[in-house]
Amino acid sequence: MSSLDAEPRSALFAAIRTLLAEPDFGAIASTRDGLLARVLAFNAAHVTPYARLVRAHASASLPAMPTDVFRFTRVAAHAPEQDVRVFRTSGTTNGARGEHAFSDLSLYDLAAKKAAEYALFPDLSGDQMTLLILAPSPDEVRDSSLSYMLGRFVEWFGDEHSAFFMKNGELDAEGLVRALDAAISRGRPIAMLGTSFAFVFAEDALGGHSVVLPEKSRIMQTGGFKGRTREFAPDEMRAMLSSRFGVRDPFIVAEYGMTELSSQLYERTLRDVLDGREPKRLLWAPPWMRVTPVDPVSLEPVSQGERGILRIDDLVNLDSVAAIQTADLGALHEGGIELLGRLPGSVPRGCSLAIEDALAKGGS
């Protein structure tokens, strides 16, 4: 793949922006794969680590970039001085964090807004809602893609009562209680959005203070527990949230996002219920994304319904790599993607210790 095969960024940027503005999801989906191939050709021409991967790849299809690579080297089509934002992963055992650099966030914004409108706020239709955010604000954590997105949500969907309730790693429980009580007194549905562990903080902090939020209030939770709190299985977590905040189960929606991507997936239950369908606890991928479970060894797609690690193609990753290989397990079903955890890490290591674990433990 030479740079001669790749179109200029400006042409691809315009094509993606036009596609994201398209109201017909079917039309987006039918255009997606052709545009993906063009974006990947651009990535291969301008992103050195991806160019290496493409050169070494034997088959005709273009490979996906393992998320790990974002921890080891810069994955970007532009120079560092052109960065407008660098999102970082929340950290690994040895502190080496993955970095995703952006020279422009307008495509990210378009995609985030469009996906949220579909899966989280389909009934808002230009109106606004109180958003109570259980995550740090983007001013506090500039390198968190989640905080950035939630900050944008407040601008796009939030009313004047919207606020962030995680500060310096701690939950502002008193502020949250006041905001919840005020929201109930106003009687209009609200949205609570945040990390799973922040919701556990809230569960612990609120003690006997359970509330019943107005009908059609919703909760978006994301991410794992990262060792910061006790852990809950997804259905236990939903039961806890439903009981604590009086929100119906289908209105509790998990978001699936990662720093290495520019778009997000959501459970489709809220949308299903509002559209009058039986809610399915499956992930919905926006039509500009393509999610393919692949065999962990061959990296070839598995059959529908079979378990594989998720390869996620995201058109909006124009400035990095539009094909990302995750270590998350999932299966493709009619209507969406079933998330099945991560590729188990406990392969036999004998009495050896992983270097990064050793460095994290240090001399202790």
Partner 1 sequence: MNTWLGRAYAVSDALRSLADPATPEGTTLRTEALRECGLSAPMIDWALTTTMAGLPTDFEVLVRNANVDGASFVRRAALILSGNVLTAPAEPLAIHAIANVPTRVKVSSSGGSFARAFLGALDRTSPEMRSLFTLHAFGREDRDSLTSLVEGAEVVTAYGGDLAMRDISASLSKSTRFIEYGHGFGALVLDVSSADDALVHGAALDVAAYDQRGCRSPQVVFAMGTRPERESFARRLSDALGEVERRLPRGPLSDEALGHERRWRQSMIAVGELYESPTAAVAAVDADTPITTPLHRNIQVHPLSAMENFADFAARAGKHLKVVGVAQEHISALDHDASRAFVGGSPHPELTAVGAMQRPRMHDYGLLRALVGSPK
Q: Are 285 and 28 in contact (CB under 8 A)?
A: no
Catalog residues that contact partner 1 under the rule CB under 8 A: 49-50, 52-53, 56, 63, 65-66, 68-69, 72-73, 94, 96, 296-297, 299, 309, 325, 327, 343-345, 347-359, 361-364
First to last CA, the chain: 48
Indicate the residue among 16 and 291 with the shorter CB distance to partner 1.
291
Give the nearest distance from C-beta 62 to partner 1 in angstroms.
13
What are the contacts of 124-129 at 24+ separation with CB within 8 A?
124/157, 128/157, 128/158, 128/159, 129/157, 129/158, 129/159, 129/188, 129/189, 129/190, 129/191
Cα 217 to the center of its chain, rounded Å: 21
State the nearest-atom distance from the C-beta of 27 to partner 1, in Å. Answer: 33
| Nearest to partner 1 of 60, 297 (CB atom) | 297
Shortest Cβ 241–partner 1 spacing (Å): 31
Cβ contacts of 297 within 8 Å, gap of 6 or more: none
Looking at beta carbons only, is 182 or 354 nearer to partner 1?
354
CA 343 to chain centre: 18
Give min distance, CB of 82 to partner 1, in A: 21
CA distance 93 to 102: 25
**Which residue has 């799973």 as its token pair?**
196
What is the nearest approach in angstroms of partner 1 to the Cβ of residue 65?
6
- Closest to partner 1 by CB, 222 vs 325, is 325
Query: Considering beta carbons, is residue 185 or 346 the nearer one to partner 1?
Result: 346
Closest CB to partner 1 among 126 and 348? 348
Structure tokens at 121: 């706020």
Q: How far apart are CA 122 and CA 347, in angstroms?
A: 43
> At residue 100, what are phi and psi to the nearest 5 degrees?
-125, 110
Tokens of 211: 């509330």
**Shortest distance, position 230 Cβ to partner 1, whole Å:** 17
